[in-house]
Structure 1
Amino acid sequence: MERDEWAAWLRLLLTPGVGRDTARRLLAAFGLPADIWKHSPSAWETVTSPRIARALQSEPPALADAIDRLRAWLNEDSDRHVITLADPRYPVSLLQTADPPLLLHVQGRQDALSHPQKLAVVGSRNPTPQGETNARQFARSLAESGLCVVSGLALGVDGAAHTGALEGGGLTLAVVGTGLDTVYPQRHAALARRIAASGALISEYLLGTPPLAANFPQRNRIIAGLSQGTLVVEAAVRSGSLITARLAAEQGRDVFAIPGSIHAPQSRGCHALIRQGAKLVESAQDILEDLHLSEPSQQNHEAALPTDEDGLLRAMGFDPIGLDALQARTGLDTAALQARLLELELDGQIGRLQGGLFQRTGQV
């Protein structure tokens, strides 16, 4: 876009009182943003309030800075793009939702937004070791089968899903809740660079937007809207992941959920979704079959695992368990049990939880 086009879209976005719904009404009535200001305030009042019509008469104070910031950001890298609601590159699946963003900032492969088969993988920011393993392995299998994995770059399940997709050699899209000149959480800066190199980072927020709590639930509608379906790996009963799942269901998209331990708070959201009609899945193949895709032949991951010589893994099961309970089940003395637990933890077979608990990390 040329500067005048940026100015028109940014002016609309920055005008006080003009939210996405009001902006869409103005666009529907008057055409492109540049055409809105060819009409009179009395014309604007036919689709909005007198207060907003007055606001539209003045340039927002932050407009000049926003234009300069956007131009500088785009000029720094040829893989940076701005895609508006009127752009033919705008993803059709997102355009068909009830609340599409007016403008998308994209860093990376903008063509990845139009990948025909995308699946959102979302879940807890504080997953169990099993949940994190599930997210990574499901995403890897889905990516190996040609799906583009969409998530939100958050800690926990989101980060594991992006990492798994990259390990599978596939595409992954990260929809973030900040401007694209900010990486949040900072711990994922290296992951964000990897995603931008082979997939794309996406944001509806203007450059300079910090990580505001209210923005993250809003970005979930984009995650759901870009995707054919949403897989919830782990989620508490009140979580942003359930917002994503609800939005996907409202849009007629598939919702999948992985069941977990009845004792784990992170599993209760998935169990609630399953009771409400989400499809219970135990493997990536379940999703691929539902989407009429096939999973490529893969190595038997379990064959590479260390042997469970003392039966400790079998004794653990898959629920969180404490040291005393493990001693009672195995009969091992404290020193031998702790040594074996450390060995299994270093091998990636178990994870250590808060409260002195351990949990097995099984394979998908």
Structure 2
Amino acid sequence: MFDGLSVPALDPAERRARLRLARTPRIGPVSFHEALAHFGAARAACHEIRTVPEAAIASEEQALAELGGRFLVFGDADYPAALAALPDAPPVLSGVGDMRLLGRPTLAIVGARDASMAGRRFAGDLAGNLGKAGFVIASGLARGIDAAAHDAALATGTVAVMAGGVDQVYPPQNARLQQAIARQGLLLSEAAMGAPPVARAFPRRNRIVSGLSAGVIVIEAAARSGSLITAQRAAEQGREVFVVPGSPLDPRYGGSNNLIRDGAILVRDVNDITSVFGRPQSFAQPPEKPVQNGDGRDTAKVVEALGAVPTPVDELVRRCQVSAATVAEILLALELEGRLERHRGNRVSLI
């Protein structure tokens, strides 16, 4: 229970069907959610779509368990509400480590792989101070800024989102750090076990880094840096974007300074971030009455709560007392019917 709601456990047969559907090669995150909306359930979709066999899921699950990990499936009670609200929410995540970290307020720190010593030191200091303030630090386990942030947040909580499977060591320079995060933090990946970290997987990883987080902090991003993709996804998802400024003569800050020019929040120290979010206890939501059904009444609640004025998705979750995963499915169904419009800042309205 990570979104303030008591969410009924996903039916085991439906959960298994979602795993099969998610691991089918031609089914991506968006088509996965479209299939759920169209067929009503993954079990029904598996009768109509040729999916991977059950044996393949059992084999991967066993390999993951041998690493001390488990699957986190869209619709599970502990699936992160922040991710569930996204239209391209990962259908399944593999996790090795402390899954409880996904229930805590999170901030992402990303930046240059070939970072300067000063940049790495600043990233470490910032991550350490944010950790002491109660935040989990998310990043992408890359060299440079990512590694410095993860390392500094090991004691207080860090989540490393990987582009390849959680059993893949990448980059090789971070092998020892990756092992430490598996013991003390959390390794997380949308990719299947054994999947290599191919180029197209990194932008998909970036959307998870930003999606898990209330805000993304960028340190030393060049004009064509991959960190800018994370910042862009963060803005599209309605997250805050923070940037550490640098000299206009240093190419490592070309993209960073452009983000500040375009409206990102300038960061000098941890206070520039905590002044926006306050302390983590401000994120906590009071317990709400559990919802016992997930059928038409949930849809009616969501539709009744919507109107012509754009409403934040997380507000719908709280107001309707429906799990984030269920709200995401309902919104997708409404969108496919042409009844829903999505707006900047993860807000939606009825058409």
Query: Residue 106 and residue 14 in structure 1: after superposition, are their counterparts in 2 closer, same or farther (change >3 A)?
Result: closer
In 2, the alpha carbon distance for the partners of 1:91 and 1:161 equals 22
Cα-to-partner distance string for 1:251-295 (whole Å, 9 max, x where unaligned): 22111000112221111111000001000011112111221139x
Secondary structure of residue in 1 paired with 2:153: helix
Matched residue type, 2:66:
E
Superposition map of 1:104-253 within 5 A:
104-115=93-104, 117-166=105-154, 169-253=155-239
Query: Which one-letter code corresponds to 1:235 in the other structure?
Result: A
CA distance in 2, matches of 1:59, 1:231: 39
The change in CA–CA distance for 1:80 and 1:2 in structure 2 (over 3 A counts) is: farther
**Structure 2 CA distance, aligned partners of 1:87 and 1:271?**
40
Distance 2:74 2:214 in 1: 20
Secondary structure of the residue that 1:121 maps to in structure 2? strand
Q: Deviations over 1:55-113 (max 9, x none)?
A: x2x344xx466324323224325x41211111111000111123110001010011111
State the number of aligned residues: 271
59, 66, 86: which one aligns with 2:75: 86
Shift of 1:7: 5.2
Asked if 1 retains the 8 angstrom alpha-carbon contact of 2:15 and 2:73, the reply is no
Where does the alignment leave 5 or more consecutive residues of structure 2 unmatched? Answer: 1-9, 281-351
> Contact 1:259–1:270 at 8 Å: present in 2 too?
yes
Q: Secondary structure at the match of 2:231?
A: helix
Structure 1: segments with no counterpart, 5+ residues: 42-55, 295-364
**1:30 and 2:30 aligned:** no
Are 1:12 and 2:21 matched, yes or no? yes
Distance 1:3 1:293, change over 3 A: closer
Per the alignment, residue 72 of structure 1 pairs with 62
Letter in 2 for 1:29: H
Conserved in 2, the CA contact under 8 Å of 1:82 and 1:103? yes
CA contact (8 A) 1:150 1:173 kept: yes
Q: Does the residue aligned with 1:261 lie in a helix, a strand or coil?
A: coil
Name the SS for the 1:232 alignment partner.
strand
Cα deviation 1:120-145 (Å, max 9, x = unaligned) = 00001111111111111111111111
**Counterpart of 1:27 in structure 2: which amino acid?**
L
Instruction: List per-residue Cα deviations over 1:136-162 (Å, max 9, x = no partner).
Output: 111111111111000000011100010
**TM, length-normalised to structure 2:** 0.73
Q: Secondary structure at the match of 1:122?
A: strand
**Counterpart of 2:265?**
279
Post-superposition shift, 1:30? 2.2
Paired with 1:180 and 1:66, the residues of 2 have a C-alpha distance of 17
Bigger mean CA deviation after superposition, 264-273 or 285-294? 285-294
Contact 1:8 1:33 in 2 (8 A): yes
Q: Is the 8 A contact 2:245 2:266 kept in 1?
A: yes
Change (3 A) 1:290 1:3: closer
Alpha-carbon offset, residue 189 of structure 1: 1.5
State how 1:316-327 maps to structure 2 within 5 Å: none
* RMSD of aligned alpha carbons: 2.0
C-alpha displacement of 1:2: 9.9
Structure 1 runs, 4 residues or longer, greater than 4 Å off: 1-7
